[in-house]
Amino acid sequence: MKQLANEIFNRLQIHYPNAKCSLVFQQPHELLVSTILSAQCTDKRVNQVTPGLFIKYPTLQSFAVADIDELKNDIRSTGFYNNKAKTIKESMQDIINKYDGTIPNTLEKLVGLKGVGRKTANVVLGDAFGIPGIVVDTHVKRISRLLGLTKNSAPVKIEQDLMQLFPSEHWTILGHLMIDHGRAICVARRPKCDKCFLNDICPSAKIPER
User: Which is the catalytic residue, given 43, 86, 114, 137?
Assistant: 137
Q: Is 50 exposed, middle or buried (0-12, 13-18, 19+ CB in 10 A)?
A: buried
Q: What distance in Å separates the CA atoms of residue 180 and residue 127, rounded to the nearest whole number?
A: 16
User: Which is the catalytic residue, given 119, 127, 141, 180?
Assistant: 119
* Torsion angle in degrees (nearest 10) through CA of 161, 166, 167, 173: -110
Question: Is 67 annotated in the active site?
Answer: no
- Separation of CA 31 from chain center: 10
Residues 196, 202 contacting (CB under 8 angstroms): yes
Question: Is 119 annotated in the active site?
Answer: yes
Residues 150, 158 contacting (CB under 8 angstroms): yes
Residues recognised as catalytic:
119, 137
